[in-house]
């Protein structure tokens, strides 16, 4: 294979990395990316057949059309500079692949692919992007060598480009140099101080759309998301959970027959305590029962999630808002990337005082036949019970036993709640939570509806729960004896299929990527420096008293492995020295040259000197 073919193939490999990165720019669209990739494959056949490059005038004409497309796309279609720029760069790359004629054309291709990777880097935090970037570094070094050899040959000779075979030593050397570059880059990544200035703190292109966390939620909004398997967060419990974990997002206290809302919305800016926590409820006398470590994916909502009994939250963010009317927590704006934080909970219910009268409001039913039927149903369920806690359990049991879970319930009337209670008797979590909250209020128990997520499925590889969009859930909080207690009247749905082992491994890798790369902070650097300092001090103590290493079993194992490695190294060095002596210290380049010539059928006779052979 000659140098031109080598250069062409490595150029198309690099271009394929650019098209792969294009799929990570959310908003570009799979049809556009597939069409561009198909055109690039067609250009490869075009170049292999030697059809000749597209003329510069024609290429410039199409480049102007691509520029006009970029302006139109940004102003009328996408509205996103990143998406429009990624499409524009991809169009230029595809056009240039049809016009590979001069050495500068190859350089333009490399530059366009680099900008494709930059566009992907600004809109994704996927670990697969790191794989593409690593391959780009490896192939970029290889392409630079090919391009330099080709250019030097053309500058020094007018002859046809030679056929060249690059052996394994050359290939391994390139790989080694590339990995050294990557390792040095990673070391710089961990060493350079984190500033945390928030310069890139804007809405990302890869944020996940969620519902149920605004000021108004219609009955039925959650249904389309119950079949979405997108991962929303990962929750690692530090302790033993008591029952299911409910991850609380937003609360609602007003229902008008169709929509839940929160007309009274008072917020408090929480200040971080000296211990790094945001305290939003007074801590009781008992010790914390559970700490939840949550890694939250980028969402298009500013709400973050706590749990029942939570009294404090800690994380790397500087500001946190508390909705005093419902206990919901949110950041000043939606997070740009995945965030990690800890929720601190207490085992006993937290006393918060008597609930406001608005948590008993069902005035929308006054004077309506449906309202009278609902009030009568509440009286028949509680049967004159005086204890609020027993009332709540009776209503929850009634709904669980007499109704069926269905994501697509039939609609037969204008009042969805009355339709659910008396007609269809089928629905999903929003129907059950609304029904229980209204029945509790009709029975004289203050209540509110909570939107959030259930704990999801367990990943035993990292000991954490994978919470998906399909785990979106609504439940009820009832104020009983001054404490808001959690009730969930929704019967269990059909169990989802267990994820494959491969998915669990990939998800565990992604979690580690988010924790140790994406969210690597100044505090992590301090912890890393402290670990290194601690290890160095232990090493110094061992050097001062070597017997401590010999006395421990792990120390003896380490010394044994070190002795074996040293023995193998010495043995190989002696053999290499003996072989060198036997060869009369022949230069390595001469041995390599004779080996290559021997493959070509040219052998030196025993009676020939090196000069005669030359």
**326's tokens:** 């419902």
* Calpha distance 289→567 (Å, rounded): 54
Q: Name the H helices within 98-126.
A: 103-121
E strand or H helix at 255: strand 254-255
* Calpha distance 430→243 (Å, rounded): 21
Judge whether 296 and 232 are in contact, CB under 8 Å: yes
Question: What pLDDT shows up at residue 544?
Answer: 65
Report the first-to-last Cα separation within the chain, whole angstroms: 26
| Burial (CB count <10 Å: 0-12, 13-18, 19+), residue 342 | middle
* Calpha distance 428→377 (Å, rounded): 20
Judge whether 591 and 583 are in contact, CB under 8 Å: yes
Question: What pLDDT shows up at residue 204?
Answer: 45
**Phi, psi (degrees; rounded to nearest 5) at 241:** -65, 145
Which one-letter DSSP state was computed for residue 76?
Answer: I
Question: What pLDDT shows up at residue 585?
Answer: 67
Q: Name the H helices within 223-290.
A: none
Question: What pLDDT shows up at residue 276?
Answer: 86
Report the chain (614 residues): mean pLDDT per 10 consecutive residues: 76 90 80 87 81 68 85 82 87 86 83 88 76 85 80 69 68 80 77 52 58 79 79 87 86 89 83 88 69 88 87 87 85 81 81 78 87 91 90 94 88 81 90 94 92 90 90 91 89 70 82 73 69 74 64 70 84 71 68 88 87 86
- Chain centre to alpha carbon of residue 394: 42
**231's tokens:** 């991962």
Judge whether 133 and 117 are in contact, CB under 8 Å: yes
Which value, to the nearest 10 degrees, does the dihedral of the CA atoms of residues 387, 388, 393, 396 take?
140
Q: Is the dihedral of CA 203, 205, 206, 207 positive or negative?
A: positive
* Calpha distance 61→565 (Å, rounded): 65
E strand or H helix at 449: strand 447-454
Distances (CA, A) of 504 to 285, 462, 500, 508: 39, 9, 7, 6
* Calpha distance 70→115 (Å, rounded): 15
**11's tokens:** 């150029």
3-class DSSP state of 11: helix
- Chain centre to alpha carbon of residue 534: 32
Question: What pLDDT shows up at residue 377?
Answer: 93
* Calpha distance 84→86 (Å, rounded): 5
Q: What angle do CA 293, 296, 300 make, to 5 degrees?
A: 155
Question: What pLDDT shows up at residue 381?
Answer: 92
- Give the β-pairing of 404-405 and 426-427: parallel
Question: What pLDDT shows up at residue 199?
Answer: 36
3-class DSSP state of 249: strand
Closest residue by Cα to residue 337 from 489, 208, 237, 485: 208
* Calpha distance 292→307 (Å, rounded): 9
Helix and strand totals (H; E) in the chain = 17, 21
**462's tokens:** 């990292």
Judge whether 62 and 95 are in contact, CB under 8 Å: yes
Judge whether 147 and 51 are in contact, CB under 8 Å: no
User: Which residues are within 8 A (CB) of 517 and not within 5 positions of it... i.e. 6 or more apart?
Assistant: 127, 130, 189
For residue 255, the cross-strand partners are: 260
């Amino acid at each position: 294979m000659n140098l031109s073919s080598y250069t062409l193939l490595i150029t198309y490999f690099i271009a394929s990395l650019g098209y792969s990165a294009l799929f990570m720019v959310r908003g570009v669209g799979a049809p556009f990316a597939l069409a561009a990739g198909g055109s690039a494959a067609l250009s490869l056949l075009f170049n292999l057949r030697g059809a000749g490059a597209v003329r510069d005038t024609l290429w410039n004409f199409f480049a102007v059309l691509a520029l006009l497309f970029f302006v139109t796309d940004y102003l009328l279609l996408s509205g996103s500079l990143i998406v429009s720029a990624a499409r524009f760069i991809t169009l230029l790359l595809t056009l240039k692949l049809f016009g590979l004629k001069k050495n500068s054309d190859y350089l333009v291709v490399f530059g366009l692919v680099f900008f494709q990777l930059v566009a992907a880097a600004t809109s994704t935090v996927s670990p697969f992007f790191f794989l593409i970037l690593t391959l780009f570094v490896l192939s970029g070094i290889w392409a630079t060598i090919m391009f330099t050899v080709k250019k030097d040959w053309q500058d020094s000779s007018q002859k046809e480009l030679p056929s060249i075979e690059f052996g394994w030593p050359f290939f391994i050397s390139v790989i080694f140099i590339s990995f050294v570059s990557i390792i040095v880059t990673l070391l710089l990544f961990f060493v350079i101080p984190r500033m945390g200035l928030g310069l890139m703190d804007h809405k990302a292109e890869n944020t996940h759309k969620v519902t149920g966390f605004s000021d108004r939620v219609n009955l039925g909004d959650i249904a389309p998301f119950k079949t979405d398997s997108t991962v929303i967060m990962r929750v690692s419990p530090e302790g033993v959970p008591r029952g299911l974990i409910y991850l609380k997002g937003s609360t609602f206290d007003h229902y008008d027959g169709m929509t839940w809302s929160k007309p009274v919305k008072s917020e408090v800016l929480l200040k971080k305590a000296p211990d790094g926590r945001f305290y939003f409820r007074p801590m009781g006398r008992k010790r914390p029962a559970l700490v939840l470590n949550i890694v939250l994916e980028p969402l298009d909502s500013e709400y973050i999630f706590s749990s029942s009994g939570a009294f404090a939250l800690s994380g790397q963010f500087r500001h946190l808002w508390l909705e005093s009317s419902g206990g919901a927590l949110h950041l000043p704006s939606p997070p740009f990337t995945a965030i990690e934080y800890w929720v601190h909970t207490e085992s006993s219910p937290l006393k918060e005082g008597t609930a406001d009268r608005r948590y008993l409001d069902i005035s929308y039913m006054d004077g309506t036949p449906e309202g009278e039927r609902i009030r009568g149903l509440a009286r028949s369920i509680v049967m004159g019970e005086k204890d609020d806690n027993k009332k709540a359990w009776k209503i929850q049991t009634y709904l669980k036993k007499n109704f069926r879970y269905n994501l697509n319930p039939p609609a037969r009337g204008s009042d969805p709640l009355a339709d659910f209670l008396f007609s269809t008797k089928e629905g999903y979590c929003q129907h059950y939570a609304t029904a229980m909250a209204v029945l509790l209020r009709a029975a004289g128990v203050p209540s509110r509806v909570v939107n959030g997520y259930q704990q999801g499925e367990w990943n035993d590889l990292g000991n954490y729960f994978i919470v998906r969009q399909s785990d979106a859930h609504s439940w009820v909080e009832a104020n009983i004896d001054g404490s808001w207690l959690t009730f969930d009247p929704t019967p269990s749905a059909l169990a989802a299929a267990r994820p494959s082992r491969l998915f669990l491994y990939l998800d565990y890798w992604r979690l580690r990527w988010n924790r140790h790369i994406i969210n690597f902070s100044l505090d992590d650097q301090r912890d890393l420096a402290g670990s290194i300092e601690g290890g160095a001090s232990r090493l110094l103590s061992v050097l001062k008293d070597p017997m401590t290493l010999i006395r421990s079993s792990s120390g003896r194992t380490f010394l044994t492995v070190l002795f074996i490695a040293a023995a193998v190294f010495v043995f190989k060095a002696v053999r290499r020295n003996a072989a060198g002596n036997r060869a009369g210290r022949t230069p390595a380049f001469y041995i390599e040259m004779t080996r290559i010539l021997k493959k070509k059928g040219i052998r030196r006779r025993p009676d020939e000197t090196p000069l005669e052979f030359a």
